[in-house]
Amino acid sequence: MFIHIKNYVANVFLALTCLLAAGPNNAYAHGEKALEPFIRMRTIQWYDVHLTQDKLKINEEVTITGKFHVAEDWPRSVPKPDMAYLNVAVPGPVFIRTERYLSGQPLMSSVALKLGGDYDFKIVLKARIPGRYHIHPFFNLHDAGAVMGPGQWVDVTGDPAAFTNSVKTISGETVDMESFGFANGVSWHVFWIVLGTAWLLWWVRRPLFIPRFKMLKSGHGDALITPLDKTIAKAILVAVPLFVFGAYAMTESQYPNAIPLQAALDQIEPLPPAVNAGKVNIKVIRTEYRVPVRAMNMVAQIHNYSDQPIRIGEFASANLRFINPSLGQSGKNEDDTLVAAKGLVIDDDSLIQPGETKTVSMAAADALWETEKLDGLFRDADSRMGGLLFLYDPSGRRYIASISTSVIPKFD
């Protein structure tokens, strides 16, 4: 028993040491690998996520834009996205969010998403504390957890004392949100701490536990509470509600037009279908994950309903992007570690002509399957994989298809 406790304490100490060693200005992960692979692949499928800048000063703003597809093959074990909240994962209050939009509409609360829909989003952040931060857009799904979008490093420089966060209230008054209400909040905390501590000390000052237990066993339990104890308890029972209601009345009088926190559920429609939506139909016939070489092999039947020849350019799943290098699109930024620039290999990479149906074999191969903890998919009770397949015609027009398929592990 002692050895187990010793090991536990040692592990906790080691974890705290690692956290402290990381430094206050660095955060390397926000739980993006914590959810099961099938949830990350088959719920919110992010794409075209972009930050306007990765170097900014205190008080400057960075805008995160992008799109996501709500997968049709939503896992049965995950509650439907009838209540989801769009936010940004950052290591503490190093930014403030000033604007947020979904499909062009201001997003104030949680939102109900529709399966199979595509949405675009925009989030504006204002730099507050200097440092180097890895930030992600993410959706917090009710009863499921946070599905992270792709992250990017952002460097913030400047003097934190220069940060300003002033807003104009509905009454026309301008207040500093960094200090507004701070003294009032501290006063209320001190009041309740003092009251609670005094009430505890009133009882702790007497003999505890064993003497009181003996009195209970001897049938003298009524003597444990004195008439003075009862008087003080009655006084607190009357005084505290009166004090709270009195403070509430004063606040209502001082701020008659206060708006409470909103608890509504926004209803925002998906984006209208793209002009070329539905022009490409993809049926995945078989999918195998080859464990030794960390490759997802897919056999798919592609039917081209458009009037242009098309080729496969990219496969994306759970923020990983596997690029077909023959199209000349690397798809990789300098700091983007989730892109395999040559990770998509196709057996027959010729153009799929209008009206043609072609069966192709694709291999999305890279160590990212393992490092991002997606190779454990076949160990899940729901061993299905989902993602987006991007196809292009000679003019560069993009066709997007959402795919989903069962995965068979191969160990040879």
pLDDT of 97 > 60? The answer is yes
Of the chain, the percentage scoring pLDDT greater than 90 comes to 68
Residue that wins the pLDDT comparison between 258 and 107: 107
Residue 132, pLDDT above cutoff 60? yes
Q: For 133-148, what is the mean pLDDT?
A: 92
Mean pLDDT lowest for which of 32-41, 144-153, 201-210, 265-274? 201-210
pLDDT number for residue 195: 93
Residue 85: its H or E element: strand 84-89
What percent of the chain clears pLDDT 70, i.e. is strictly above it? 91
Phi, psi of 326 (to 5 degrees): -70, -15
Question: Which 3 state secondary structure label does DSSP give 406?
Answer: strand
Q: Give residue 208's pLDDT band: very low, low, confident or very high (50, 70, 90).
A: confident
Q: Which of 13-22, 81-90, 149-158, 200-209 has the lowest mean pLDDT?
A: 13-22
Distance of CA 65 to the CA centre of its chain: 15
Lowest-confidence segment of 163-177, 182-196, 343-357 by average pLDDT: 163-177
Q: pLDDT, tens digit, for every residue of 4-41?
A: 443 444 444 434 433 443 444 444 455 678 788 999 99
pLDDT at residue 116, as a whole number: 94
Residue 3 has pLDDT above 70, yes or no: no
* Average pLDDT of the chain, as a whole number: 87
The pLDDT assigned to 203 comes to 84
The residue with tokens 């204002």 is: 126
Using the CB atoms, write b or e for 242-256: b if 16+ within 10 Å: eeeeeeeeeeeeeee
Segment 193-206, tens digit of pLDDT = 999 999 999 888 87
Whether the CB-CB separation of 78 and 39 falls below 8 Å is answered with: yes
Where residue 240 falls among pLDDT bands split at 50, 70, 90?
A: very high
Record the tokens describing residue 177, joined without a space.
């949100």
Residue 394 is predicted with a pLDDT of: 92
Domains by residue range for the chain, with CATH: 30-170 (2.60.120.570), 182-254 (1.10.287.710), 280-410 (2.60.40.1580)
Higher pLDDT, residue 328 or 278: 278
pLDDT at 266: 92
What is the distance of C-alpha 315 from the center of its chain?
22
Task: Provide DSSP, 298-365.
Answer: EEEEEEE-SSS-BEEEEEEETTEEEE-GGGT-----TT--SEETT-EEES--S-B-TT-EEEEEEEEE
315 pLDDT more than 60:
yes
Which pLDDT value is given to residue 57?
Answer: 96
Q: Average pLDDT, stretch 186-198?
A: 95
Q: How far apart are the first and last CA of the chain?
A: 43
pLDDT confidence band for 330 (50 / 70 / 90): low
Averaged pLDDT for residues 371-376 = 90
Query: For the ranges 217-221, 295-299, 360-364, which has the lowest average pLDDT?
Result: 217-221
pLDDT band at 224 (very low <50, low <70, confident <90, very high): confident
Q: How far apart are CA 48 and CA 55, in angstroms?
A: 20
**pLDDT score of 376:** 84
